[in-house]
Structure 1
Amino acid sequence: MVGRQGDRQRAYIGSFTAAGGAGILTAAVDADSGALTVLGATDTVPDPSYLALSPAGDTLYAVSETSAGAVAAYHLKGDKPEQAGAPVPVGGAAPTHIAVHDGHVLTANYGSGSVTAVPLRPDGSLAPAPSGVLPHSGTGPHPQRQQGPHAHQVLPDPSGDWVVSVDLGTDSVRVCELTAEGELLPHREVALRPGSGPRHLAFHPRGDRAYVLNELAPTVTICTWDAADGTLRPVGEAAVLPGPTDGDGEAFPSQIVVAPDGRFLWTATRGQDVISVLALDEDGLRPRLAATVPCGGHWPRDLAVDASGRFLYAANERSGDVTWFAIDPGTGIPRRAGSVAAPAASCVIFD
């Protein structure tokens, strides 16, 4: 999501304050080079690890990834976001992801394995309590990571008719409906390969394909998506790393993004500290691993691509930086172009 506030494009970088992060960093974006220049920081809530913008781009929302779990809103009127009211508890532990949909903020709560909907007021601020909390249930075969549900991501589908949540603990993706009253109603649960540990999902810009990045077995699950009846159907898997992908304990994929033109998808893998380039065929069902390149730091937790498809950004948590890359338009391979310090960086988005 890229736009402009005033005459200058901005990026917002989330971080873990418990690990030395500065909260939410605001940075100017050079439209020609993709370079980031930090303008300031806002540290009013602990561990604002994931961020989302309102459709109008004038309000920023952040999870507070703590055991209590909360979400905060910020008005964007200058270089420093201004908090709009007190943080609102989400009724779940350790929210790791946030999305804005149909007058609500949605959070995926990893610690409690649930999804929350918090209503928005007309001015973009948060209502004082959630309108719905949907608990997940189930387990998986991994003895440490899958003893219970761990919702890792929540997002609307491209049609806007459905809410999709990805659960690492239950090896499944849930499709829900968000009612006008803010209740999350389960529609169906889609099982993925046991032990794969699905983490994040990205839709193809065409809207009828989805790609689920698995954290515990470094692969992408390719799915078809039918918005008419909310049906997600797994049809295959593709490796995101060369060589064996299961069981080495040193590869933890974190994020997946699809090129705006639908020709490539990129994934980040912590431990290996690489960005993988997968080329997509015309129907989007057979991703091919084309290359891996260093992420420019250590422990890449998040990736973001600008709307033009020219630049890719990696938020490297443990090295404390955001690195940007120029993307080769023919091959999709990113070339490192620079970086900016961002301690305990966990997320980067654009206005």
Structure 2
Amino acid sequence: MTSSKQQTLIWTGTYTADGGGRAEGVGALAAHQDGTLEWKGTAVKTDSPSFIAVHPTLPVVYAVAEQRQMVQAFRRSGEFGLEPAGDPQPAGESTCHVAVDPLGRFLIAACWGDGQVLLYELDHDGGMTGRFPAAPSLDPHGSLTPGQPRQSRAHASLILADGRVMTTDLGHDSLRIWRYEPGAGLIADHEVALPFGSGPRHLVQHRSGSVFVVSEYSIEVFVVKADAGTFELINRGPATAGGSRAEDSAAEICLDQDGNHAYVGVRGSNVIGVLRVGADGTDLSPVKDVASGGNWPRHHLVRGRWLHVAHERSDNIATFALDPATGLPGPLIHNLQTPSPTALVPSN
């Protein structure tokens, strides 16, 4: 194999038939140095593994079973295969996201359907042991909907640089910050209320310590930063340069390798909003909206100088080269057909 075809592996989360999708389970892609992706096959057949996380040091992959309300661990097998490792663990309704502690101590699952946030402690082999439900969310905007309580909808979690955990609640428009206590799970630290109806979905931490949160409903990016350990909302702005349409919903946010640009996927308009990050990480300025290369950009990944965008409804992953100076995606360089991709997660 030539150096231009040296490859790494990317796992794809998917929807299978029980989630209205066309995949059969977790997919495996070879990612080549020239930016192209190669479909290797289904790594393991499993129901609607719509989001995936990878253990930091062990050959173990964790996937939700969104419709089955479970989380399952898988162990690497062969070149690109996976096999179940232990029994699936119960989660909550519409389990939509998993994240693994960088130290390999625990796994966190977020459940969109009922708002549960669950922590599973991990043993030395990466197996899930103790299961600890976190305290349920209380709507900080409850006074705006008297007599009509809104459903809590946990959507994602992020292990912060200081070891704490931040989770989004799309239904309650809030961010919750937690401390991990071995043998007890997540202990509430504090919360940040975001504007009513915004719908915080996914989040990423910048090298400055700021956390950028994309909102599914209002199509914005919120900047929160800690002051003496307590996060506060310090900025907000549109996630796109050209505005959004009524039927749009934002999905993923990620950063380029230098942290100078952020990329937001917007479903409906099917664009990637490119934003410039301020030098101190306290503000983001929309630069340009670029066609995402398919229908319903559910998730995207920056890999070096490449941007890969997974389109759930058009069954493809579009790849663009990123301009190192402007951060803008150039013309489409590769288009890979693959069934119902919902997440792109590099293997170790």
Please say whether Structure 1 and Structure 2 have the same fold, judged by a TM-score greater than 0.5: yes
SS at match of 1:46: coil
Task: Provide Cα deviations, 1:39-73, integer angstroms capped at 9, x if missing partner.
Answer: 1204443110001110115111111111x411111
Structure 1, unmatched stretches of 5+, are 1-6
5 Å-filtered alignment, 1:48-197, equals 48-66=49-67, 68-78=68-78, 79-90=80-91, 92-101=92-101, 102-127=104-129, 130-138=131-139, 147-160=150-163, 162-197=164-199
SS at match of 1:9: strand
| Structure 1: distance between partners of 2:63 and 2:11 | 10
CA contact (8 A) 1:119 1:182 kept: no
Sequence identity percentage: 31
5 Å-filtered alignment, 1:1-351, equals 8-18=7-17, 19-31=21-33, 33-66=34-67, 68-78=68-78, 79-90=80-91, 92-101=92-101, 102-127=104-129, 130-138=131-139, 147-160=150-163, 162-206=164-208, 208-226=209-227, 229=229, 231-245=230-244, 248-306=245-303, 308=304, 310-335=305-330, 336-351=332-347
| Structure 2: distance between partners of 1:74 and 1:88 | 12
Structure 2, unmatched stretches of 5+, are 1-5
Task: Provide Cα deviations, 1:152-197, integer angstroms capped at 9, x if missing partner.
Answer: 101210122x111001100110001111114211111110111111
SS at match of 2:135: strand
Question: How far apart are 1:126 and its partner, in Å?
Answer: 2.1
Q: What amino acid maps onto 1:346 in structure 2?
A: T
Q: What amino acid maps onto 2:294 in structure 1?
A: G
| Structure 2: distance between partners of 1:182 and 1:23 | 32
| Structure 2: distance between partners of 1:49 and 1:62 | 7
Q: What amino acid maps onto 1:126 in structure 2?
A: M
CA contact (8 A) 1:210 1:225 kept: no
SS at match of 1:81: strand
CA contact (8 A) 1:215 1:254 kept: yes
Q: What amino acid maps onto 1:148 in structure 2?
A: Q
| Structure 1: distance between partners of 2:335 and 2:81 | 21
Task: Provide Cα deviations, 1:118-168, integer angstroms capped at 9, x if missing partner.
Answer: 1212111222x51334322326779xxx821100101210122x1110011
CA contact (8 A) 1:72 1:88 kept: yes
Match of 1:3 in 2: none
| Structure 2: distance between partners of 1:181 and 1:201 | 27
| Structure 2: distance between partners of 1:242 and 1:8 | 34
TM-score by length of 1: 0.89
Deviates most, 146-155 or 327-336: 146-155
| Structure 2: distance between partners of 1:243 and 1:147 | 31
| Structure 2: distance between partners of 1:9 and 1:77 | 16
Q: What amino acid maps onto 1:340 in structure 2?
A: L
CA contact (8 A) 1:255 1:303 kept: yes
Q: CA RMSD in A?
A: 2.1
Task: Provide Cα deviations, 1:237-283, integer angstroms capped at 9, x if missing partner.
Answer: 111223554xx422100000012211100000000100011011211
CA contact (8 A) 1:22 1:42 kept: no
| Structure with the higher strand share, 1 or 2 | 2
Q: What amino acid maps onto 2:237 in structure 1?
A: A
